[in-house]
Structure 1
Amino acid sequence: MASPGNQRPRTDTPGTGEAVVLVAAASAAACLVALILALLLGGAGYPQITPGLPDPGTLTRWGLPVAKTTVDVSAALTVGLLVLAVFLIPLERTALGGQAQGYVRAASWAALVWAASAGAALVFQLSDILGRPVTEILGNEITSYASSVPQGIGWTLALLIALGVALTGRTVVSASGTALLTGLALVGMLPPALTGHASSAGNHEMAVVGLSAHVLSVSLWVGGLAALLFHALRGTGEHVPVAVRRFSTLALWAWIGVALSGLASAASRLSAAAELFTTAYGQVMLAKVAAFLALGALGWVHRTRTVPRIAEEPGRRLFLRFAAVEVALMAAAMGLAAALSRTAPPPDLTQATDAFRNLTGFALPPPMGVRTLLTLWRPDLFFILVVAVLGGLYLAAVVRLRRRGDTWPWGRTVAWLAGLLALGAVLFTGVGTYSYVLFSVHMVQHMVLSMLVPILLVLGAPATLALRALRPARRRGDRGPREWLTVFLHSGYSRLVTHPGFATPMFVLSVYALYFTPLFGTLMQDHLGHMYMNVHFLLSGFLFYWIIIGVDPAPRKVPFLLRIVLLLLAMGFHAFFGVAIMMQSAPLGMEYYGQFDVPWLESLADDQYAGGGVAWAIGEVPTMLVLIALVVQWSRDEERAERRRERHSRRGGSEDADLDAYNAYLASLDRRAREQEQRQQR
């Protein structure tokens, strides 16, 4: 037993437990009232029942939205508690503190509720689809639905991931492990969104990506604030000001994400702005918008009034009052969201239905020409966000360096922006539209995404820029964005994916596995599959060219001669890949292309032959450019190495000049960042 002098004093203040219970009860009541009112307003609570038609019953009509609301709330609490433990509370070197570990254990209990409610939602969803009461559903029907129907598979995956988070949360103690657990929890929220009603909306891609971004943003915002409020109400006062400041930044980004994703979801479900006022779906959506604007106003009050004075006792009391109201309003908004998912959106009677529209969500374009390639723009929300975030963060980092008095090569900035411009050119213009129609245009898109865009992005040196622009954590042993980036760059995962034995086969052989198997036709049939292919082209190309001509610090240094060999080997395989496509006697991907007719296309075989020619010819120019860049880098590296050897030989220094130079470089970055931080504090 510890002596009295060593015992940790109890810091919980009287009434803390009552305050937590009161806030939780008020939030639950607000959520339930909003859910009931929205179900009644939207007509889902008491729909008109036609005699003789299947009816799932009152239990399913009300149980399904309640189960979905419980899923949303418990999943958000799980994510919020994990974010609080690993990102908002300062760390103690690589391990979580005792208080943070307690929050991870609490997250495991929330994940258990999440899993149970996901199982209930699965059963209620099946009852709703079959039009039979829950008591009449058999076990084999549940098994078949959970393993063969997309919606059932989505709920099953959510249940399994939630169980995994609940079990793993009982044992994880490291910061990196908790960060991975947070990522797993965020992934677990996506399957129901990706396989739900949004996948059948008019604009499939916009609806699904918008709903997924909405779910993630709301979870980080709502769950983070609820966990932070619980942390502040405990009365310990430990790191509350730091946690509030960090969450303020996170909440701002989450608010922007909710706004953009909400607009995308509304655009994909409503064909006219008037439907916001004339339909039940639009009216429930307006109620959500009102709650969102009120939450934004409260958030602005936090940023301007409570965050600057949070360390003071009046400021802390003000934060608690505003945060309690904000959490209750968020709970009401989540109830509205669950009711909205049970409200039928207005039908779009302006668009005709055909096989191509059912597959892609947009009409078949006219014959391809220069004008249509330049004018038939198609918004891709996922990659719009990617381009906006990557471009904005890069330019913000360059501006920070300039203001600090440091320089950054303009050529790297031009290369990065040119890569993002090329990315948008093949995804947002008519090239992106016709890639769904013509195999040849799809191959142009593939080659640009895997062999041109990655080269430009790699030459932009994003990791080096981030390490120079990000400030180190204020507290030694804690992890800010710069420390997390450093941990990732030196992790075992980074060492694996940047190994030439992994990156090269992934870049070369994956295209054979994609196009010469039924996988290509399967992925083309779904907007998520198409998005997955584009992401794979980008990442595999980025990893390959990073080890070939990358200027960022890498886990290992690949000899230049080996780089040249790998480049020539990869380009040889790509050239053979194009020839192999040209020699195919039957069209590829008929699982997709065989479902619709293109009146102005003469032959699928001829178009595929043209696509093979694109794959064979387009790789020559990037190969020559990369080879020239390699020779130049090799020559400069030899000159630098010779100068270092001469300096060390004159001074009798260390034999490992490369290691010393790299360590000195990292030390100078850290020293300059800390000096800048000290100047700002003064």
Structure 2
Amino acid sequence: MNEGALRVLRAAVLAVVAAAAVLVAALVLGGAVTEQVIPGIGDAGAATRWGLPVSRTAMDLLSALTVGALLAGAALLPVEGARETPKLSRDSVGYLRAASWLAAGWAAAAAATLVFTVADVLGQPVTEVIGGNELSSYVGSLEQGTALMIVVLLAVVVALLARTTTTPAAAFGLLAMAGIALLPPPLTGHSASAANHEVAVTGVALHVAAIAPWVGGLAVVGAHALLGRDKLPIMAERFSRMALWCYVTVGASGMVNVISRLPSPSELFTTDYGRLALGKIIAFAVLGWFGWWHRERTIPALHDRKPRAFARLAAVEAAVMAATMGLAVALARTAPPPETGTESAIKTQLGFDMPPHINLERLATLWHFDLFFGVLVVVLGGLYLAGVLRLRRRGDSWPVGRTVSWFFGLLTIVIVTQTGVARYAPILFSVHMAQHMVLNMLTPIFLVVGAPTTLALRALKPARVRGDRGPREWLTAMLHSRFVRFVAHPAFATILFMGSTFALYFTPLFEDLMRDHLGHIAMMVHFLASGCLFFWVLLGIDPAPRRLPHPMRLLLLFVTMPFHAFFGIALMSLNQALATGWYNAVNPPWGTTILHDQHTAGSIAWAFGEVPTFVVLLVMAFQWYADDQRQARRMDRKADRAAERTARGEAGDGEDELAAYNARLAKLAERDRLAGEQGRKAARQPES
């Protein structure tokens, strides 16, 4: 074993020891392993009380290392080869192979966590769970069991595919798959049962999604430095830019999670859960200091060919991160303080109390903060504004109308997800339908007219290394990918836009999604995404694999829009209510009957189609007129150039048929004019 490998091994041992020490101390201080056994209630035993947090810590660390290795192979290291045929470097392929082994360990740790979780829930020793039939029968019925089974399956797929992957696109796909596998376990823990579970669920998802690339990326960059590999300055700079955003996301989402579980700041000092959360906050602040030191001292030292300082500090920082993750596992095993007072059944299901009788004033004033769509609007608005400002600083222009359209589209998202509309949508199908129509048929029009892809292609800078892939190159590659060519086909986009509405509401899927906050978010994201896809194909401002001619766009519009009217008529014709189980559980005492409200929703769907149709017709008419004007100016320029060359006696080779034809017409017209003048002169001369 060479010296670099020994340094990596020592750093890994330091991280494992730090994580184990903090985990044990937090479990003891938090009382998770010293619970009093009550006679008559099943006890899983000491093996489960210790084995579950240990396996969970191993699962979290291995998942972060897998994501970090995939991140290094897909994005942190430069891509080699020509732009048309990019390939991964030797080091990138090596990190993918390491990710294969790490993902296999991740799957094994998740499987062990699954066994201990079932034993903990059933209150039986782990030996009885393994030897009996409880494991197979309870995996599908427990949310945590299903989540861990999904992790095992996805981690196994990543482990198998990472052994043969050699292209940047495939590596990025594996990174996305690993990112998805991170989310199921934390979303079935304390967040799902918090008082404001809408905010808690989104907060924990953002927290986990930001921690894994931050921790795993640092570990891989540190190992790269300890091994003395090439491209370390590029790798460290890219990681540093990403780590800053991860740090901000982790801090904001962590604060949201703490507030959702500890409404009173005094509980940070008076409860076991609060004290562990306070320790995690302190560790987070220490990690922020490490990041600042990297930016100020160690990264500049890399350019001076002094990697040792960076490697030493990264090893210590990785140990602190591992200890923080052990603390997080202990925090997850510690019960939050119970809610004071009694919680209504409505609040348990919705996350908030039943709102008063609906009217326009309350729809506008009873604001309800949805963290997911709030973050989405802020990110989309910030990125768009940053792109416009970069163009302006560079001296380029960007149409004001597109900017206004983009932010008006974001405003419509705020109106239907943050105001009283979001409070009444879960309990009244009519309000939900208005929310659906806006997100699916109105918001996408303004977002598409904003041309975000065109703005990104103009604002993003090319990669510094020739042949490498930065954000601009990844965006271009995605636009030319087979997947985008398939989903952007007019037939697929139209079927998805029209058919998904019928498939959702006339199947049990609608009620299942309404019962779960994540399902509700997925449903609204689908409305927004399918609408954006359809109007991208229809309006065609941004680059697309296929561009329809204007008559075909008009025909597609008039063929598609009546389907929402048909859907509304179908709702008004039904004599049986949809999702009766859900709407009976949340039926407001001041509301009308569920079936009558459903008929109101049908009338909204039937009438709403007129508004987006009118807006799209205005946009298409303007596009058609502008396109005709551009074509006319282009033909005039070609004709002028051809005439100039003809006047100079040049051959004009290489011109298209139209330009050559216009040149011939101009030459014939000039000859006819000269002949006419000669004829008139001859007619005016007196006869001899």
| TM-score normalised to structure 2 length | 0.91
Aligned partner of 1:24 in structure 2 is: 12
Question: Once the two structures are superposed, what CA deviation does each residue of 1:230-272 show, in whole Å capped at 9, x if it has no partner?
Answer: 0111012x10000011001100010011011101211221121
Identify the match of residue 35 of structure 1 among 9, 20, 23.
23
The answer to whether the 8 A contact 1:576-1:616 is kept is: yes
2:271 to 276, 279, 288: 279
Q: Which of 49, 52, 59 is equivalent to 1:61?
A: 49
Offset of 1:647 from its aligned partner? 3.8
Indicate if the aligned counterparts of 1:577 and 1:616 stay in contact, CA closer than 8 A.
Answer: yes
What is the rounded CA distance, in whole Å, between the counterparts of 1:379 and 1:201 in structure 2?
A: 15
Structure 2 counterparts to residues 437-452 of structure 1, below 5 A: 437-452=427-442
**Which residue is equivalent to 1:318?**
309
Counterpart position of 1:631: 621
Q: Deviations over 1:405-425 (max 9, x none)?
A: 111011111111111111011
User: In the superposition, relative to structure 1, how do residues 654 and 341 fare at CA in structure 2: closer, same or farther (>3 Å)?
Assistant: farther
- For the 8 Å contact 1:461–1:550, the answer to whether it is kept is no
| SS of equivalent to 2:115 | helix
- 1:587-598 equivalences under 5 Å are 587-598=577-588
- Once the two structures are TM-superposed, the CA of residue 381 in structure 1 deviates from its matched residue by 1.2
The aligned counterpart of 1:331 is 322
Following TM superposition, by how much is the alpha carbon of 1:648 offset from its aligned partner in structure 2, in angstroms? 4.2
Q: Distance in 1 between matches of 2:564 and 2:128?
A: 57
Shift of 1:341: 0.8
Query: How far 1:576 sits from its partner (Å)?
Result: 1.1
User: Which segment drifts farther, 600-609 or 341-350?
Assistant: 600-609
- Alpha carbons 1:204, 1:361 under 8 Å: kept: yes
Please give the root-mean-square deviation of Cα atoms over the aligned residues, in Å. 1.5
In the aligned structure 2, how far is the partner of 1:136 from the partner of 1:416? 59
1:524 maps to which residue? 514
1:142 to partner: Cα distance: 1.0
- Of residues 79-88 and 130-139 in structure 1, the stretch that sits farther from structure 2 once superposed is 130-139
Alignment of 1:21-420 (within 5 A): 21-93=9-81, 94-137=86-129, 138-236=131-229, 238-314=230-306, 316-350=307-341, 352-420=342-410
CA distance in 1, matches of 2:301, 2:459: 27
8 Å contact from structure 2 (residues 93, 166) kept in 1: yes
Partners of 2:299 and 2:374 lie apart in 1 by: 32
Structure 1 runs of 4+ off > 4 angstroms? 651-657
**Cα distance between partner residues in 2 of 1:354 and 1:144:** 32
1:603-618 to structure 2, matched below 5 A, reads 603-618=593-608
User: Matched residue of 2:164: which SS?
Assistant: coil
Counting only pairs closer than 5 Å after superposition, residues 474-553 of structure 1 correspond to structure 2 as: 474-553=464-543
Deviation for aligned residue 1:364: 1.0
% identity of equivalent residues: 50
- Partner Cα separation in structure 2 for residue 654 and residue 539 of structure 1: 43
Asked whether the 8 Å contact 1:30–1:328 carries over to 2, the reply is yes
**TM-score normalised by length of structure 1:** 0.92
Q: Check the 8 A contact 1:232/1:240 in 2, yes or no.
A: yes
The Cα of 1:652 is off from its aligned counterpart by 5.5
How far 1:148 moved relative to its partner?
A: 2.8
Task: Report the 3-state secondary structure (helix = DSSP H, G, I; strand = E; otherwise coil) of the residue aligned with 2:311.
Answer: helix
Work out which of the two has the higher radius of gyration on C-alpha atoms and give 1 or 2.
Answer: 2
What is the CA deviation profile of residues 202-253 of structure 1, one whole-angstrom value per residue up to 9, with x for unaligned ones? 12221221111111111010000000000111012x1000001100110001
CA contact (8 A) 1:271 1:348 kept: no
Whichever residue aligns with residue 579 of structure 2, its letter is G
Unaligned runs of 5+ in 2: 643-651, 659-688
Give yes or no for contact 1:96–1:174 (8 Å, CA) kept in 2: yes
Change (3 A) 1:511 1:652: farther
* C-alpha displacement of 1:618: 1.4
Cα shift readout 1:564-605 (whole Å, capped 9, x = no counterpart): 111111111011111111111122111311223311113222
Write out per-residue CA displacement over residues 441-497 of structure 1, whole angstroms, 9 at most, x where no aligned residue: 101101110111100100110000000000000111100000000001111111111
The answer to whether the 8 Å contact 2:225/2:308 transfers is no
Aligned-residue offset at 1:372: 1.9
1:616-668 Cα deviation digits (max 9, x unpaired): 111101101101211221222223223334444636656599xxxxxxxxxxx
The 8 Å contact of residues 222 and 314 in structure 2, kept in 1 or not, is answered as yes
- Code of the residue aligned with 1:240 in structure 2: it is L
1:464/1:552 contact within 8 Å kept? yes
Deviations 1:496-521 (A, max 9, x none): 11111100111111111111121111
Q: Does the CA contact (< 8 Å) of 2:427 and 2:586 recur in 1?
A: no
Structure 1 portions without partners, runs of 5+: 1-11, 658-682
Deviation at 1:310, TM superposition (A): 1.8
Query: Could you tell which deviates more after superposition, 494-503 or 48-57?
Result: 48-57
1:556 paired residue number:
546
Distance 1:584 1:103, change over 3 A: same
Rounded to whole Å, the distance in 1 between the matches of 2:559 and 2:657 is 32
> How many residue pairs get matched?
642
Paired AA for residue 299 in structure 2:
V
Structure 1 Cα separation of the partners of residues 656 and 242 of structure 2: 46
Post-superposition Cα deviations, 1:275-296, rounded to whole Å, max 9, x if no partner, equal 1111000100111100000001
Equivalent residues of 1:158, 1:189 under 8 A apart: yes
Contact 1:44 1:61 in 2 (8 A): yes
CA spacing shift, 1:346–1:324, aligned 2, 3 Å: same
2:377/2:410 contact within 8 Å kept: yes
The equivalent of 1:667 in structure 2 is: none
Q: 2: distance between equivalents of 1:639 and 1:589? A: 52
Deviation at residue 139 of structure 1 after TM alignment: 4.6
Map of 1:583 onto structure 2: 573
Partners of 1:653 and 1:35 lie apart in 2 by 75
Q: Which residue of 1 aligns with 2:450?
A: 460
Retained in 2: the 8 A contact 1:145–1:153?
A: no
Distance change (3 Å), C-alpha of 1:656 and 1:108: farther
CA–CA separation in structure 2 for the residues paired with 1:584 and 1:98: 62
The verdict on how the C-alpha distance between 1:59 and 1:334 changes in structure 2, with shifts beyond 3 A counting, is same
**Cα separation, 1, equivalents of 2:272 and 2:360:** 43
